[in-house]
Amino acid sequence: MKKRQKNIKKDKIVDQFEFDEFQKWKIEKERERIKNHVPTIYGYARVSTRDQHLKPQVKQLKDSGAQKIYQEKWTGTTTSRPEFEKLISVLLSGDTLMVTKLDRFARNTQEALETVENLKNRGVKVHILNMGFFDDSPNGKLMFTMFSAFAQFERDLIVSRTQEGKAYAKKYDPHYKDGRPKKFTEEQVELAWELRKQGNTYKMINRKTGISIKTLQRRFNELKLKDSE
């Protein structure tokens, strides 16, 4: 038994040593990459629907001077962009990220602004072919200021529309309730309450009804207060 424990401990030490050595190797490789880095123009092409083609974007990027191009095909989801994440991870100070249009690398203005700002802080230029450069030049700074203002306008517009929608619903919809909609009906909660009265544990009720334990506890406390009134 003791010998087995010693072997386990020894294996853990070896694993930790190998992990530390691997981390050192990664750091050294990254330093070497930065030291030998030659500024590169990276292109990014993406299509968001199944019937679109990447070739026109790729050609436009090549014609505009892109040296390496990352391509992303439609995957059926708006959030999965593994090639874009790979590209962002290899960009270094002095590099340029080139896209044909703003919506190629962002779903909305705010997300695009955050990406551009992050890359600018890392010393990476962003070139959107139908808009221009986002860099530290006077024109680039002006573009970024206008872009920021538009992003703020977009946020304010969304808030305004949301508030208008709520105000209209409150006025004309007698069933409207502000806040998060309930996931479960009163009948489901009452059934859960009956199960609790029969001696079922929270875990058992959760398995039978699908209602989370936190929700059960909160609703049961509400029902207890109601019964005591």
Active site residues: 48
Amino acid (one-letter) located at 100: T
- Which residue is associated with the tokens 């929608």? 165
Q: In what order do the strands lie in the sheet with 68-72?
A: 68-72, 41-46, 96-99, 125-128, 132-134
Residues 6 or more apart whose Cβ sits within 8 Å of residue 120: 126, 134, 135, 136, 144
176 vs 204: CA distance, rounded Å: 33
45 vs 164: CA distance, rounded Å: 38
Amino acid (one-letter) located at 123: G
Under 8 Å between Cβ of 47 and 72: yes
